Amino acid sequence: MSRIRLTAFTTVVALGLAMPAMAAEVKVTEKSNKFSPKNLTIAVGDTVTWVNQDGYTHNVHSKTKGHIFNIGLQEAGGSDSLKFDKAGTVKIRCSIHPKMRMTIKVQ
């Protein structure tokens, strides 16, 4: 009987270790015309949420090959999310405030 329990326990542990890690959601704030953090490393499948803490509109976008996106106008207090499905280094900007830049490394 104890041998059956041990086999069942070993099977459950092995299956648990084989399961993929859950994707994370990472928050990036936009405040004083800056992204924080400015540099970010995430895993493939993670989601980044940009939160506009300024009193005016931003526009988060990337023209990086293979990672092109534009979330459109983001009003003060608004937030938008994007899931990153491919590895690579993504350069992010605000088209309204050209000095607002960040880099996301997706591994």
Residue 73, phi then psi, degrees to nearest 5? -70, 135
pLDDT confidence tier of residue 79, bands split at 50, 70 and 90? very high
What pLDDT sits at residue 22?
81
Mean pLDDT of 73-97: 97
Q: Are 59 and 75 in contact (CB under 8 A)?
A: no
Which CATH architecture best describes the domain 22-106? Sandwich (2.60)
pTM: 0.79
Give the pLDDT score at 13.
45
CA distance 27 to 48: 6
